[in-house]
Amino acid sequence: MSQTNNPTTRSSSNTIAIVIIASLFFIFGFVTWINGALIPFMKTINELTDAQSYLVASASYISFVVMALPASYILNRIGYREGMSLGLFIMAIGALVFIPAANARTYWVFLCGIFLQGTGMTILQTAANPYITILGPIESGAKRIAIMGIANKVAGALGSLIFGALLLSGIDKVKEKLATASAEETTQLLDTMADSVLMPYLTMAGVLFILALLIRKAPLPHVEAAPLEPSKEGETAKKNIFQFPHLWMGVLTLFVYVGAEVIAGDTIIAYGISLNFNAEDAKFFTTFTLMAMVATYALGVVLIPKYIKQVNALKISAALGIIFSILILSTTGFTSVLFVASLGIANALVWPAVWPLTLEGLGKFTKTASALLIMAISGGAIIPPLYGRLVDVNKHELISNGVQQADALATAATASYWILIPCYTIILFFALWGHKIKSWRKR
């Protein structure tokens, strides 16, 4: 790392930097976790299937695939501070796109706005995650990222509650009216419902524009990753990222992890509704997941690395993910919803632990590796729609076998959570063995 040599000054500047980066993670969380409310909202106003509605998550997370490497290039050209400012500005533009999208009630325009916000978050995440990881000792990287996680998930809980209240209030009554409404009445009801996004997103755009200007003056110390360790005798010097198998295992691990995390947070409201909970009650379910994550993040801040190594925290998290997934499949009703929320406990320390375990020893390849890890966030674009597709297929099969539609949806929604088990199994493999594979074996 390259920082000032005065320990007191370095500690003070690091603290300020942690607070600034935490504020950015707060923004990530707020914008990302409102998807839990947007999914049932978009499904209603655009009359979508379950699989189509989960494209809300896809539009956000697919941007991490498309923009991660360009974001790395941008950051190399303009630096962290300007890059973060640019990311906030792009997010603000994305929020403004919701206004014409609501006026036209056109789903693809909504998706464009969500994609733009995801693009801005990609630039922010590509800068913030490696920055906070290498801001101090790599052994305590998970602790610093856990602090970021608290800011992220508290914001997510607030965003979910606020947007749940704004977008889902009265949705049950609207659905009842739609069942008997004429074509003209249906259009009027849905147009009125769509208008409820105008003020929240206009406010969000204004806040993001202001933050984009303020971040330009932020006092962020300069940091760089430690140089590569010299090659051992008989080993070939590392010349490219393809010579680090643990990096690619880390990318795969984050891919399945983000998919599992998004399923836990973004499907729980719709899952509760499928189990016949009304939307007024179900809108709080995402908050259960996020609060479980915040509590576990707090444990991580206290315990890592003094009492528990970050790799052991990852092993425990993966094992809990498998256990809770099995319990979701084995239970019904509110108990099953609580086990979905409990996935927040299993998920919390995965991201904080995978980053330092993956970036350790990468030296000059750290920035490129970080872009690849950010691309892995695309798991949130692919795995949740697969869950939605499973729900649709299972539901239609049950209905064709004579099961009532409401019962078929509830059964299909529960049974489709099996998709989480292979995700957590891959995470467990990385924790046990994958992160240790530092080079390819010679043939």
Q: What is the pTM of this model?
A: 0.74
Residue 233: band (very low, low, confident or very high) from pLDDT cuts 50, 70, 90: low
Q: What is the pLDDT of residues 35-48, one digit of tens each?
A: 777 878 888 877 77
Least reliable range by pLDDT among 74-83, 248-257, 295-304: 74-83
3-class secondary-structure state, position 287:
helix
- Tell me how far the alpha carbon of residue 292 is from its chain's centroid: 15
Q: What is the pLDDT of residues 110-126, one digit of tens each?
A: 889 989 998 998 888 88
The radius of gyration of the chain's CA atoms, rounded to the nearest angstrom, is 22
Residue 222: count other Cβ atoms within 10 Å of its Cβ: 12
For the cut 50, the answer to whether the pLDDT of residue 302 exceeds it is: yes
199 CB contacts (<8 Å, ≥6 apart)? none
Residue 225: band (very low, low, confident or very high) from pLDDT cuts 50, 70, 90: low
What do you get for the CA distance between the two ends of the chain, in Å?
36
The chain-wide mean pLDDT, for the chain, equals: 84
Q: d(Cα 289, Cα 339) in Å, to the nearest integer?
A: 9
DSSP string, 185-231: HHHHHHHHHHGGGHHHHHHHHHHHHHHHHHGGG--PPP--PPPPPPP
Beta strands in 33-118 (DSSP E): none
For the cut 60, the answer to whether the pLDDT of residue 160 exceeds it is: yes
Least reliable range by pLDDT among 15-29, 73-87, 159-173: 159-173
- Residue from 315, 50, 312, 32 nearest 159 by CA: 32
For the cut 70, the answer to whether the pLDDT of residue 109 exceeds it is: yes
Q: Please give the angle made by the CA atoms of 359, 363 and 367, to the nearest 5 degrees.
A: 65
Tokens found for residue 7: 């320990």
Q: Do the Cβ atoms of 208 and 123 come closer than 8 Å?
A: no
Question: Distances from the Cα of 230 to the Cαs of 252, 258, 356, 362, in angstroms?
Answer: 27, 34, 20, 12
- Residue from 356, 293, 46 nearest 151 by CA: 293
For the cut 70, the answer to whether the pLDDT of residue 355 exceeds it is: yes
> What's the pLDDT score for residue 1?
43
- Residue from 59, 33, 32, 42 nearest 114 by CA: 59
* Higher pLDDT, residue 35 or 289: 289
Residue 327: band (very low, low, confident or very high) from pLDDT cuts 50, 70, 90: very high
| DSSP class of 142 | H
> What's the pLDDT score for residue 183?
81
